[in-house]
Structure formats: structure tokens, C-alpha cells
Amino acid sequence: MKKTLVAILFAAMAIYGCSSDDGGSAGTGGSAGTGGGSAGTGGSAGMGGEGGMGGSAGMGGMTGEVVYEQDFESLDQASTTALGDAGFLVFGTEYNADGSVFNAYGPFPAPNNIAAPAFCLIADGEGGPDQGTQQVVIFSDYQNRGAMMAGRVVEALTFQERTIMAADVGKPFVFSFDAKRGDIGGDSTAFAFIKTIDPANNFDQTNFVPVDTTDLPTTWGSLDVSLEIIPELEDQLIQFGFGATATNDEPSGVFYDNMLVELQ
């Protein structure tokens, strides 16, 4: 047991997708979509969800009004609350083998705890000329021990959130970022996404537009995903960020940097 723990913690320090068996389960939060309140704002992205209302994913992009940007350089890597303090939220969903939802929990402020890796960590030394010193690595929730050991798939989302305003209507919401492969294998998957949810209707998901990042090269590249803001989306919440799925402690890490959101 001792050797197992040492090996797992060493893997975490290497930004690998594993965790300590001592960590408490993160899967004890309330389920999503059960009415108003903070638990509903994470919403489950679902396994293999579809984009709607004019979503698309691709490469490149045009210059527009910048509404969000993050390069992680100013965040304190030593602080366990650095990502949460920067506005990042996390949300987890457990899936049974048949794809049905077993449990959902969150949202919570994003952690940054290398001693108990879950969802995300600030990384360093993984950048190229355009990525600077610090990046973020996204992976599944390895502190959800019950689900991992039971063989359920744990989908872990790390994201930012904002309210769609009247001035946003009629414009494409374009989320671009840099990414490269981390330690990901087995049946694990990774993706970036834009999602909208409707607080006025039980926090129902109204759009989910993903772009797959599971099989990226180990060199940095740029990707983007977009959603046209139509009038029906005014006052809804729009979330943008990254996700990973894993089971049985399989690794799921992907590196990201230079997040940029523009209304074009």
C-alpha cells in the first residue's frame, strides 16, 4: 500500500492523471438541474452531447471584442486556491457503464492542490515560445474514489461562466486556446467546450458545443470553438472551458494556455 501511494503521488507531481487513495470523495455534492441555486449552474455536459443553436468548432478566428483572456502567468502556482480565485469553477458527473447518470456534483471553486489532484492544476515548464512559464493541466476528478474504484466514468469540467447580455445577441461567441497532449491514455477523453444553461428553466442545458482534444500531438497548437448568440439566449449563463473523462484511475491530462474569448 505504501509503495502504491508513493508511486501515485509521484505521478501527480509529474502532472500525471493519478491521485492518492487517501483523498476524500468529491462526489458527495448535490445533483445538477434540480431547480434554482448554485448546484444547478454547473449542469452536466453529458457524454457525447450535441452542439445546438448554431454551434461550431474549428481552427483560427477573427479579431473581435475581447471579453475574457487568461495566460496563467500571474497566478500563484503555490496557492491551492489560485484557480478558484481567478474565477474558475468545476463540476463533476459520474456515469454508469450504460451511459446513464449516477451522480452529479458542483459547481465548486476550482482546486489547485498537487497533494490531492482533482480537475486541474497550474503547471510550469510545459510551454513553447508563445505559452510562457505557466499553463494549466486539466484532468478527471481522481479524488472521487468511490466512482473511480467502482468503474464509473467521471467527467470533470473546469470552466469560466458569464451571463449573456442583450449587447451580445447577434454575435459569435468565439473561445480560442492553445493545447497540447499531456498524460492521457486508456479510454480517457478530453475536450474543450462552450455550454449554455437556462436559470429560468431549472438550469436546463440549451447548448453544448465541444471540440475534441483527446488525441492532440505533444507540440502546441491553437484551436477554437464558437456559438452564435441568438435572442433566446439572453440572460442565460454561458460556460467555456475544458473537460476530461476517466475511470479506474486511467490518466487523462491535457495542457492548455492562452485562453481568449471574443465576441465577433
H-only helix segments in the chain = 2-13, 82-85, 145-150
Q: Cα separation of 195 and 86, whole Å?
A: 20
Cell numbers given for 229: 448568440
The arithmetic mean of pLDDT across residues 175-179, rounded, is: 98
Determine the pLDDT at residue 134: 98
Whether the bond into 172 is cis, omega within 30 of 0: no
Domains present along the chain, CATH in parentheses: 2-263 (2.60.120.260)
Residue whose entry in the numeric block shows the C-alpha cell 481552427: 59
Q: Is a pLDDT exceeding 50 seen at residue 49? A: no
Kindly report the pTM of this predicted structure.
Answer: 0.80
Q: Cα separation of 97 and 117, whole Å?
A: 24
> In this predicted model, what pLDDT tens digit does every residue of 71-91 receive, in sequence order?
999 999 999 999 999 999 999
Q: Is a pLDDT exceeding 90 seen at residue 57? A: no
Determine the pLDDT at residue 146: 97
Cell numbers given for 201: 428553466
Helix (H, G, I), strand (E, B) or coil at 259: strand
Determine the pLDDT at residue 23: 36
CA atoms within 13 A of residue 46's CA, in its CB half-sphere: 15
Residue 244's contacts (CB-CB under 8 Å, 6 or more residues apart) are 17, 138, 139, 140, 155, 156, 184, 188, 189, 190, 191, 252, 253, 254
Share of the chain above pLDDT 70, in %: 76
The arithmetic mean of pLDDT across residues 154-160, rounded, is: 98
Q: Which residues face 7 on adjacent strands?
A: none
> In this predicted model, what pLDDT tens digit does every residue of 89-144 receive, in sequence order?
999 999 999 999 999 999 999 999 999 999 999 999 999 999 999 999 999 999 99
Q: Cα separation of 75 and 134, whole Å?
A: 8
Q: Are strands 204-212 and 101-109 parallel, antiparallel or unpaired?
A: unpaired
Q: Return the sign of the alpha-carbon dihedral for residues 98, 101, 105, 111.
A: positive
Residue 151's contacts (CB-CB under 8 Å, 6 or more residues apart) are 97, 247, 248
User: Which of residues 32 and 220 earns the better pLDDT score?
Assistant: 220
Q: Is a pLDDT exceeding 50 seen at residue 52? A: no
Determine the pLDDT at residue 63: 66
Q: Beta-carbon neighbour count of residue 170 at 10 Å?
A: 11
CA angle 127, 63, 158 (to 5 degrees): 50
The arithmetic mean of pLDDT across residues 164-185, rounded, is: 98
CA angle 200, 203, 209 (to 5 degrees): 120
64 band by pLDDT with thresholds 50, 70 and 90: confident
